[in-house]
């Protein structure tokens, strides 16, 4: 891919950590817009240059620096969202309306104290699928932008690169930073053009295929052992959740709503599924009441119990052909 085409890609931006201006947060005034990636990497950082340099010069990971970072604009590398949808139900929990087919990988100094990450930056930038290696807003690490073939496999691509770079460079990368709706703080790079390539390859690795000898009677636990690939289970749970909720699944008490929200929070479209399930229960519910109930829900991770629960419900509802039905 050519630099010019990548920089023309649309991404969504927000004004601060919570998507609101300081003086308007109580009034629910969300500030967001869709811009070209060029603006997120060049225009906005120049506009915010003084604040970015000031933040960079604060003590690394101090309370003062974290506070300053929370007030800086962010952008979603995954693509363009319908920003009008989030005026009363921020943060974003859906998939992009127009995906960018880009993802980022973070390298942070605090996670790699035994490595010269700046020397390593030069090595990583040489990789054919790495488009850029730009300093983070703290100035103590950098992040890579990587074009990917299919946004639906972002977590798989991320996990593979995480393992690959660990083996190749002994590099520690945040394993939980693969979410499509992870907002990245803009950063100032005075030498930005030196760290963006004119041409870059697209990362095309697909997830591991299911082997022919796998039979339905195998337990999900043995399936995970056989394939040693957690994301297969993640996809299976997500498909079950989506199909069941599309077909009317809901719950009817506060504790159940909370648990459902924490389970759905594992996925980028978790809020949209939570919203749909809420409407399944009572279509007259307001968006604000649904958003309020969702606000306290946090991701619980993909556990064996979660896999068994949702796949069991799908099997009970759809019968022996449940796998085929949820994939249709």
- Same domain membership, residue 224 and residue 182: no
- Same domain membership, residue 283 and residue 163: no
Q: According to the model, what pLDDT value does residue 87 have?
A: 66
Residue 203 placed within a domain: no
For residue 156, pLDDT over 60 is answered with: yes
Give the burial class of 198: count Cβ atoms within 10 A of its Cβ; 0-12 exposed, 13-18 middle, 19 or more buried: exposed
- Mean of pLDDT over the chain: 84
- Same domain membership, residue 269 and residue 134: no
Domain's final residue, options 160, 195, 230 = 195
For residue 196, pLDDT over 60 is answered with: yes
Q: According to the model, what pLDDT value does residue 88 have?
A: 60
Q: According to the model, what pLDDT value does residue 253 have?
A: 79
Sequential DSSP letters for 190-221: TTGGGGB-SB-PPB-PPPPPPPTT--TTS-HH
Reported as a pLDDT band with limits 50, 70 and 90, residue 214 is: very low
Tens digit of each residue's pLDDT (9 = 90 or more) over 86-131 = 766 677 777 788 899 999 999 998 889 999 999 999 999 999 999 9
Q: According to the model, what pLDDT value does residue 25 have?
A: 56
- Same domain membership, residue 169 and residue 87: yes
Neighbours of 76 (CB within 10 A): 23
Half-sphere exposure of 171 (CA within 13 A, CB side): 25
Residue 293 placed within a domain: yes
Q: According to the model, what pLDDT value does residue 222 have?
A: 38
- Same domain membership, residue 238 and residue 191: no
Share of the chain above pLDDT 90, in %: 45
- Same domain membership, residue 120 and residue 170: yes
Residue 287 placed within a domain: yes
Residue 206 placed within a domain: no
Q: In what order do the strands lie in the sheet with 141-147?
A: 102-108, 141-147, 132-135
Number of domains comprising the chain = 2
Q: According to the model, what pLDDT value does residue 283 have?
A: 87
Tens digit of each residue's pLDDT (9 = 90 or more) over 247-290 = 999 988 777 888 899 899 888 888 889 989 999 998 888 888 88
Residue 238 placed within a domain: yes
- Long-range interactions of 219-226: CB distance < 8 A, separation 24+: 220/304, 220/307, 220/308, 220/311, 221/304, 224/304, 224/307
**Separation between Cα atoms, residue 13 and residue 72, nearest integer Å:** 11
- Pairing state between β 102-108 and 141-147: antiparallel
- Same domain membership, residue 224 and residue 191: no
Nearest to 186 by CA among 20, 62, 83, 71: 71
What angle separates helix 220-227 from helix 230-246, to the nearest 10 degrees?
140
Domain's final residue, options 180, 195, 210 = 195
pTM confidence score = 0.64
Residue 60 placed within a domain: yes
**Separation between Cα atoms, residue 275 and residue 294, nearest integer Å:** 9
**Separation between Cα atoms, residue 236 and residue 302, nearest integer Å:** 11
| Measured CA distances, 97 to 17, 151, 179, 301 (Å) | 21, 12, 15, 25
Residue 151 placed within a domain: yes
Domain's final residue, options 161, 195, 229 = 195
- Same domain membership, residue 225 and residue 179: no
Which residues neighbour 103 within 8 Å (Cβ) at sequence distance 6 or greater? 77, 78, 145, 146, 148, 154, 157, 158, 178
Query: In which domain, by residue range, is 123 found?
Result: 3-195
| Whether 140 contacts 62, CB under 8 Å | no
- Same domain membership, residue 106 and residue 25: yes
Nearest to 38 by CA among 70, 71, 19, 13: 13
- Pairing state between β 74-76 and 10-14: antiparallel
- Same domain membership, residue 259 and residue 137: no
Residue 128 placed within a domain: yes
Q: According to the model, what pLDDT value does residue 240 have?
A: 92
Lowest mean pLDDT among 81-85, 127-131, 170-174, 206-210: 206-210
Reported as a pLDDT band with limits 50, 70 and 90, residue 151 is: confident
**Separation between Cα atoms, residue 108 and residue 127, nearest integer Å:** 19
| Whether 161 contacts 107, CB under 8 Å | no
Nearest to 97 by CA among 219, 272, 252: 272
For residue 215, pLDDT over 50 is answered with: no
- Same domain membership, residue 226 and residue 158: no
Q: CA torsion angle for 274, 280, 285, 290 (degrees, to 10)?
A: -10
Joined tokens for residue 221: 């636990």
- Same domain membership, residue 264 and residue 171: no
| Residues pairing with 10 in the sheet | 36
| Whether 241 contacts 274, CB under 8 Å | no
């Amino acid at each position: 891919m050519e630099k010019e085409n990548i920089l023309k890609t649309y991404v969504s931006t927000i004004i601060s950590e919570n998507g609101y201006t300081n003086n308007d947060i109580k009034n629910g005034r969300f500030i967001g817009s869709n811009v070209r990636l060029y603006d997120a990497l060049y225009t906005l950082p120049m506009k915010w240059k003084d604040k970015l340099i000031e933040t960079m010069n604060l003590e690394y990971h101090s309370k003062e620096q974290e506070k300053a970072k929370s007030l800086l604009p962010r952008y979603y590398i995954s693509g363009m969202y319908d920003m009008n949808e989030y005026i009363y139900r921020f943060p974003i929990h859906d998939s992009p309306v127009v995906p960018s087919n880009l993802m980022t990988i973070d390298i942070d100094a605090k996670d790699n104290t035994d490595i010269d990450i700046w020397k390593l930056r030069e090595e990583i930038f040489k990789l054919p699928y790495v488009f850029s290696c730009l300093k983070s807003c703290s100035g103590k690490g950098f992040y890579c932008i990587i074009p990917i073939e299919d946004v639906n496999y972002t977590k798989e691509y991320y996990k593979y690169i995480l393992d690959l770079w660990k083996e190749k460079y002994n590099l520690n990368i945040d394993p939980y930073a693969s979410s499509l709706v992870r907002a990245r703080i803009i950063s100032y790079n005075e030498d930005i053009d030196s760290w963006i390539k004119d041409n870059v390859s697209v990362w095309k690795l697909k997830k591991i295929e299911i082997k022919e000898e796998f039979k339905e009677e195998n337990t999900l636990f043995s399936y995970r052992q056989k394939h040693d690939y957690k994301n297969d289970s993640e996809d299976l749970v997500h498909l079950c959740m989506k199909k069941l909720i599309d077909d009317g699944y809901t719950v009817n008490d506060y504790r159940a709503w909370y648990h459902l929200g924490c389970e759905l929070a594992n996925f980028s479209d978790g809020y949209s599924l939570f919203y749909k399930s809420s409407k399944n229960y009572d279509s007259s519910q307001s968006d604000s009441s649904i958003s309020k109930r969702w606000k306290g829900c946090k991701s619980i991770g993909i556990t064996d119990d979660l896999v068994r629960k949702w796949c069991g419900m799908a099997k009970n509802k759809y019968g022996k052909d449940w796998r085929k039905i949820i994939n249709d």
